[in-house]
Amino acid sequence: MDLQSRQDIEIGLFMQALRLRHGYDFAGYARASFNRRVRALAEASGAASISALTERLIHDEPFLAEVIGRLSVPVSEMFRNPPVFDLLRREVLPVLASYPQINIWQAGCAHGEEAYSMAILLKEAGLYARARIYATDISELALERARAGIYPLREAQLFSSNYLQAGGSGSLSDWYTAAYQHIKLDQALAERITFANHNLAADGVFGEMHLILCRNVLIYFGEPLQQRALALFRDSLVRGGFLCLGDRERPSEPRFAQDFGAIAPGASVFRRVTAR
């Protein structure tokens, strides 16, 4: 038996252990990328093999946080893909302004960059006081970092230029203080953000949302899991609510086309069209 198929067995067992021991079901994730990340995890935690990893997973309780942290991909930046934020600012926020309370769900918030970006957008539109942002992620480690709102100074340049491209009206530096080679975002931004653990693969709807941002998360999911997540979003959104997906994420599901319409041709922001 070659190494490849042996490893497949190991990864299968690992996945099963994760599900049985901790309830995390990664079966719905895109297989290739999941395999890659399990291998990376084994390497990073110095396990001799994936089976060793499995063993540790079963017996070492605190190890779970690290595993989940590494299996998810917490990569993002503030105002990532600026035109989308510009679109949100111009087209979506004015509509949201007509709701007495604005609930926004950032599903898969990574280290919180986009949640904070959204907060800045709302602050600048004067809507933050009646908005509420739920930033959820599967990884506790990522959430911890998101709560802190501290990012390396070297990324500040990219953030700033993104901010300006997204049509920012001031300077991003209004929102952070730089020290010790890091920037720390204004705590006032976190005031109405709720960082919470939520697993798109297992957990349910937790509230009525007006805007859901879930960018570059579905790409890691297999087809059935994508459908599950989209159903969650559909059930969460109010009629006429908005869903913002990643740039390359166009679900092929027929139900999706039926429930959602893009707000502009080619845009990655969709609006819920059907009645409940």
Partner 1 sequence: MAEAPAEIAEGAPLSQLRRWVADLSLLAKFRLIIFALLILFVCAGLAFLMVQQRETVARRWTVHTYQALWTAERAETALLNMRLSLRDGLLGADASKIEAFQVESDRYDALFSELRELMRDNPVQEVRLERIENLKRDWDEGFVRPSVERLRSPDLLQQKRSADDLLALINNGSSALGSLQGELTQMRAVEHGLLATRIGVLDRAAALGRDVVLLALLLALISTLYALIAARRLLAEPLRRLIQLIPDISAGGHAAAIPYRWRRDEVGEFARSLSALAKLVEGRAGDDWVKTRLASLAGDLQLADTHEAFGDALLRSLCPPLDAGYGVAYRWDALAGELQACASYGVSAADLSSRKFKPGQGLVGQCVAEKRTLSLSPVPPTYLKVVSGLGSMMPDTLSFAPLFSRGEIVGVVELASLKPPSALRAELLAQARAPSALAWQTLARSLRTAELLDVTRSQSEELRSSEESLRIQQEELQSSNEALRSRSQLLEQQSGQLIASEEELRAQAEELRLANETLRERSTALRARQAELEAARGTLERHAEQLERASRYKSEFLANMSHELRTPLNSLLILSKGLADNEDGNLQPDQVESARIVHDAGRNLLQLINDILDLSKVEAGRMLVVSEDVGLRGFATLQERNFRHVARSHDLEFKVVIGDDAPQTVRTDGTRLGQIVVNLLANAFKFTEKGSVTLHIGRPDEESLRHAGLAGLVPGRAIGFKVSDTGIGIPPDRLDAIFQPFEQVDSGTARRFGGTGLGLSIARGMAGLLGGSLQAHSAIGVGSSFLLILPERLDVAGAAIDASAAVAAEVPTAAATSRPAEPLEPSYAQAPASDERAVLLIVEDDASFANILAGLAARKSIPTRVVSSGAEALKAAAEMPLLGVLLDIGLPDISGWQVLQQLKALPATQQVPVHIISASDDLDRGLALGAVGVLTKPVSRESVLAALDRVIAPGGDGAAAPRRVLLVDDDLGSRAAVRKLLEPETAQIEEAQNASEASTALRARRFDCLILDLGLPDVSGLDLLDELSAAGVSLPPVVVYSGRELSPDEMLRLRQYTESIVIKGSRAPERLLDEVSLFLHALTPPRSAGAAAPADVVRDVAGRHVLIVDDDMRNIFALSKALRTRKLEVTMAQDGYKALTQLDSNPGIDLVLMDIMMPGMDGYETIRRIRERDQWKQLPIIAVTAKAMTGDRERCLQAGANDYCAKPIDIDQLMSQIRVWI
Q: Which of residues 176-195 bind partner 1 (CB under 8 A)?
A: 192, 194
Q: Which of residues 217-246 bind partner 1 (CB under 8 A)?
A: 235, 238-240
Q: Which of 14, 24, 242, 260 binds partner 1 (CB under 8 A)?
A: 24
CA dist., res. 140 & res. 196, Å (int): 9
Q: Which of 46, 59, 266, 276 binds partner 1 (CB under 8 A)?
A: 276
26 and 33 Cβ atoms separated by less than 8 Å: no
95 makes contact with partner 1 (CB under 8 A): yes
153 and 176 Cβ atoms separated by less than 8 Å: no
**Across the strands, what pairs with 106?**
135, 213
Shortest spacing between CB 153 and partner 1, in angstroms: 30
Shortest spacing between CB 77 and partner 1, in angstroms: 25
275 makes contact with partner 1 (CB under 8 A): yes
Q: Which of 132, 147, 184, 228 binds partner 1 (CB under 8 A)?
A: 132
Ramachandran bin of 244, using left for φ above 0, alpha for ψ from -120 to 50, beta for the remaining angles? beta
Q: Which of 134, 151, 220, 270 binds partner 1 (CB under 8 A)?
A: 134
Shortest spacing between CB 25 and partner 1, in angstroms: 9
- In terms of Cα–Cα distance, which of 123, 92, 98, 71 is closest to 268? 92
231 and 198 Cβ atoms separated by less than 8 Å: no
Nearest CB to partner 1, comparing residues 8 and 186: 186
Nearest CB to partner 1, comparing residues 33 and 199: 199
- In terms of Cα–Cα distance, which of 144, 152, 138 is closest to 70? 138
99 makes contact with partner 1 (CB under 8 A): yes
208 makes contact with partner 1 (CB under 8 A): yes
272 CB-side CA count, 13 A: 22
- In terms of Cα–Cα distance, which of 238, 254, 220 is closest to 139? 220
Please report the DSSP string for 22-90 in residue order.
I----TTB-HHHHHHHHHHHHHHTT-SSHHHHHHHHHH-TTHHHHHHHHHS-----TTSSHHHHHHIII
Q: Which of 101, 161, 169, 258 binds partner 1 (CB under 8 A)?
A: 101
Nearest CB to partner 1, comparing residues 60 and 203: 203
Shortest spacing between CB 61 and partner 1, in angstroms: 10
Say which residues have a Cβ less than 8 Å from residue 77's Cβ, sequence separation at least 6.
113, 155, 158, 159, 162
* Segment interacting with partner 1, rule: CB under 8 A, options 73-81, 112-120, 156-164, 204-212: 204-212
Residue ranges in contact with partner 1 by CB under 8 A: 22-24, 94-95, 97-101, 103, 129-130, 132, 134, 192, 194, 196-199, 202-208, 235, 238-240, 275-276
